[in-house]
């Protein structure tokens, strides 16, 4: 009998396994797809897609870029396996299904544990039952890059796909049924990304619908009261993800799920069944790899020593690895106004930042949202070519409740991209 069995080896799963081993728990990790240790994030999501974006930033050949990226992914996957084995984690391959509250079956083998953590992740939503329409992971196994591609969905994945294809010279269109791409994000940030996309000749059909797809990939797009007909070499559907909870036998364990299939959990990531936890994309929290890892850590800490954990999801940064990138953290300006929070907005543009200008990467801006009553920075958003690390810094600022005055007293390296934070506070108010 194990102390902890984890189902799924993605960010939540392998983090939980390593944390379990660190706490001296007898731990097993179940992965149903041989050769896919690390889950979607490592094998066909976060890591390889960001690799494609990075290596294609100056153009290049699809096959060469994909080959280089997947070679590095294999290196990371092998490294993860070595870390788990060295830590004493048992890696078991096969489909897991609950047969009782603390018992699962994997390939005919019964496995019991004092504690389980469900980390089965999610899969792409599919609305188009059409052989001409592919789900996102197809991008890693193309015979050749298309000359013209359609992406259905202007969310995070759609914008990142569009940027990669645009980088390697593919003509790209995005169809988004909502009023804008990245709907719900700060309007200035969305406007910046939309403008830069159009400069790069990425065509945006916003507030539009797919009214038909023929067998030869001619698509009818309903846009602004008109029907536009375009023919594409490839069509990708990037319309969100759904939890992989359907075949786990959760009913045998008595685990409650919501109407969308997400597992209900408390602040410690524990389900309604004592000793069974869930984390990552299969619970109703932001579908982010780093959120999943944090959730897994909280769950294992609760198992190991009973410590109480809690994540303030509003302070978890969001980032789109498009070109330019776009991100946000904390309370948005719209939410602050809606909740009657008096705010002051600090706004500054990368065109005034020396390093961004001299490197030719000066599109975009930053917005800092200050609570006027407390002088605390309660939210921030940015768009630009180099904001990944800036968003990490902004996450600390917002999460720690740092005031404007404290930030103004800090000194940033010059030249750097992140100095835009103190520049905004000094000159952008």
283-313 burial: b if 16+ Cβ within 10 Å, else e:
bebebbbbbbbbbbbbbbbbbbeeeebebee
Which residues partner with 364 through β-bridges? 384
Tokens, residue 56: 């294609």
The pLDDT score that the predictor gives to residue 34 is: 80
What are the residue boundaries of the structural domains of the chain, listed by start? 2-123+241-311, 133-237, 315-427
- Is the distance from CB of 136 to CB of 157 less than 8 angstroms? yes
429 residues of the chain, pLDDT tens digit each: 999 999 999 999 999 999 999 999 999 999 998 889 999 999 999 999 999 999 999 899 999 999 999 999 999 999 999 999 999 999 999 999 999 999 999 999 999 999 999 999 999 999 998 999 999 999 999 999 999 999 999 999 999 999 999 999 999 999 999 999 999 999 999 999 999 999 999 999 999 999 999 989 999 999 988 999 999 999 999 999 999 999 999 999 999 999 999 999 999 999 999 999 999 999 999 999 999 999 999 999 999 999 988 899 999 999 999 999 999 999 999 999 999 999 999 999 999 999 999 999 999 999 999 999 999 999 999 999 989 999 999 999 999 999 999 999 999 999 999 999 999 999 998
Phi, psi dihedral angles at 41 (to 5 degrees): -55, -45
Token pair 């389900």: residue = 271
For residue 81, the surrounding DSSP H or E stretch is helix 62-87
Tell me, which fold does domain 315-427 have in CATH? Enolase-like; domain 1 (3.30.390)
Q: How many other C-beta atoms can be found within 10 angstroms of the C-beta atom of residue 267?
A: 11
Token pair 């030249």: residue = 415
CATH 3.40.50.2020 fits 133-237, yes or no: no
Token pair 């952008």: residue = 428
Four-residue CA torsion sign, 331, 336, 342, 343 = positive
- Is the distance from CB of 151 to CB of 127 less than 8 angstroms? no
The pLDDT score that the predictor gives to residue 368 is: 98
The pLDDT score that the predictor gives to residue 140 is: 93
Say how far apart CA 393 and CA 300 lie, in whole Å.
27
* Topology alike, domains 2-123+241-311 and 133-237: yes
Tokens, residue 303: 């198992």
Instruction: Report pTM.
Output: 0.95
The pLDDT score that the predictor gives to residue 127 is: 92
The answer for 306, left when phi > 0, alpha when psi is -120 to 50, beta otherwise, is left
Tokens, residue 335: 């939410």
Phi, psi dihedral angles at 368 (to 5 degrees): -115, 135
The pLDDT score that the predictor gives to residue 192 is: 97
For residue 149, the surrounding DSSP H or E stretch is strand 148-152
CA angle 375, 414, 397 (to 5 degrees): 30
Say how far apart CA 347 and CA 384 lie, in whole Å.
13
Spatial CB neighbours of 266, under 8 Å, sequence gap ≥ 6? none
142-161 burial: b if 16+ Cβ within 10 Å, else e:
eeebbeebbbbbbbbbbbbb
CATH 3.40.50.10090 fits 2-123+241-311, yes or no: no
Closest CA to 353 of 409, 423, 407, 410: 423
Name the pairing type of β-strands 364-371 and 377-384.
antiparallel
Which residues partner with 281 through β-bridges? none
Cα atoms in the 13 Å half-sphere on the side-chain side of 427: 10
CB-count exposure of residue 402 (10 Å: 0-12, 13-18, 19+): middle
Closest CA to 238 of 178, 158, 181: 158
């Amino acid at each position: 009998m194990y102390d902890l069995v984890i189902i799924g080896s993605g960010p939540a799963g392998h983090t939980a396994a390593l944390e379990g081993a660190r706490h001296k728990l007898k731990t097993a990790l179940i992965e149903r797809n041989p050769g896919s240790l690390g889950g979607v994030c490592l094998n066909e999501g976060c890591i390889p897609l960001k690799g494609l974006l990075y290596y294609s930033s100056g153009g290049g050949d699809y096959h060469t870029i994909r080959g280089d990226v997947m070679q590095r992914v294999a290196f990371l996957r092998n490294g993860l396996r070595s870390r788990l084995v060295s830590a004493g984690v048992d890696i078991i391959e096969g489909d897991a299904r609950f047969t009782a509250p603390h018992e699962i079956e994997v390939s005919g083998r019964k496995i019991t544990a004092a504690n389980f953590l469900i980390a089965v992740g999610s899969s792409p939503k599919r609305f188009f039952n059409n052989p001409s329409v592919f789900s996102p992971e197809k991008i890693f196994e193309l015979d050749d890059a298309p000359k013209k591609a359609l992406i259905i969905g202007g969310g995070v994945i759609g914008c990142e796909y569009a940027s990669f294809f645009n980088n390697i010279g593919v003509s790209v269109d995005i169809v988004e049924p909502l009023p804008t791409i990245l709907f719900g994000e700060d309007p200035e940030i969305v406007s910046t990304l939309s403008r830069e996309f159009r400069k790069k000749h990425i065509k945006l059909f916003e507030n539009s619908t797919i009214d038909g797809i023929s067998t030869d990939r001619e698509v009818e797009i309903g846009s602004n009261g008109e029907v536009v007909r375009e023919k594409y070499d490839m069509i990708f559907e990037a319309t969100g993800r759904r939890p992989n909870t359907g075949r786990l036998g959760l009913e045998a364990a008595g685990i409650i799920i919501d109407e969308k299939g997400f597992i209900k959990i408390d602040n410690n990531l524990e389900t309604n069944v004592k000793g069974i936890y869930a984390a990552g994309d299969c619970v109703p929290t932001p579908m982010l790899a780093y959120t999943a890892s944090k959730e897994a850590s909280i769950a294992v800490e609760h198992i190991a020593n009973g410590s109480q954990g809690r994540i303030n999801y509003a302070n978890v940064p969001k980032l789109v690895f498009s070109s330019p990138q776009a991100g946000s953290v904390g309370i948005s300006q719209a939410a602050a106004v809606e909740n009657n929070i008096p705010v002051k907005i600090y706004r500054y543009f990368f065109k005034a930042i020396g390093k961004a200008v001299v490197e030719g990467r000066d599109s975009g801006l930053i917005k800092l949202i200050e609570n006027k009553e407390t002088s605390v920075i309660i939210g921030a958003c940015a768009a630009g070519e180099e904001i990944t690390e800036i968003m990490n810094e902004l996450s600390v600022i917002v999460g720690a409740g740092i005031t404007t005055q404290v930030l103004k007293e800090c000194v940033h390296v010059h030249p750097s991209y992140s100095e835009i934070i103190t520049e905004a506070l000094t000159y952008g108010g």
